Amino acid sequence: MCDSYLEGDQVRKDATHREHPRLIKRLTVLYGAGHFEVIDPRSREWPQVVAAVQSLL
């Protein structure tokens, strides 16, 4: 998740977590990442994305 999204959406996430504590398990912040870095296998963030997905399987 890019840091700008995290900052803009923090209040909603806090409220969601209080209402549904099991819904949000882990948050991986990719500081400085833009919109497409999370889907681009050539990005420097890609290994973190893969690791996060694999941890859910």
2-29 residue pLDDT tens: 555 555 555 556 555 566 566 556 778 8
What distances in angstroms separate CA 15 from CA 1, 10, 19, 56, one per listed residue? 18, 9, 6, 23
Burial 31-52 (b: 16+ CB within 10 A, else e): eebeeebbeeeebebeebbeee
- Here the tokens at position 49 are 């994305």
Count of domains for the chain: 1
Give the structural domain span for 7. 3-56
Write phi, then psi, for 44 (nearest 5 degrees). -70, -20
pLDDT at 56 over 50: yes
Q: Which two tokens stand for residue 19?
A: 């209402």
